[in-house]
Amino acid sequence: MDFEFKEQDPNWSVEESKQLDMFASNNFKRVEKLPFKFKYIFKDESGKSSKLTIIDWETGALFLRYKKDFKLACEKVKEKYLNDFARGKDLYFF
C-alpha cells in the first residue's frame, strides 16, 4: 500500500552497542546506524493493515549511497521498494 520513513537517533544506544560489541573480538567494523527507519505498509489476506520495519542490508547500502542528501536518499529507498520490490518481486512478510 505504502512506504514510510521516520527519523531516528543516528547514534547506537547503549543496548544496541552491547549487541554490536559481541563481534568486536573478530575485528568486525561497526556499521553506521541509519538516521531513518523504513517501513512497508501493507494489507494481509484478511484485509488487516500492518507496518513492517525493513532491516535488510540492501536498504542501508542504498541509503548510504545518497546520504549527503537525506531527502534524496529516503526517496531512492522508497522508490526501490515501491517500484522494484513491491511490483517486480514476489514479496513475503514473516
What is the reported pLDDT for 28? 67
6-51 per-position pLDDT tens digit: 999 999 888 887 775 655 666 667 778 899 999 989 998 899 999 9
Domain edges within the chain: 2-88
* pTM over 0.85, yes/no: no
Confidence tier at 58 by pLDDT (50, 70, 90): confident
Which H, E and C letters describe the chain, residue by residue?
Answer: CEEEEEECCCCCCHHHHHHHHCCHHHCCCCCCCCCEEEEEEEECCCCCEEEEEECCHHHHHHHHHCCCCHHHHHHHHHHHHHHHHHHHCCCCCC
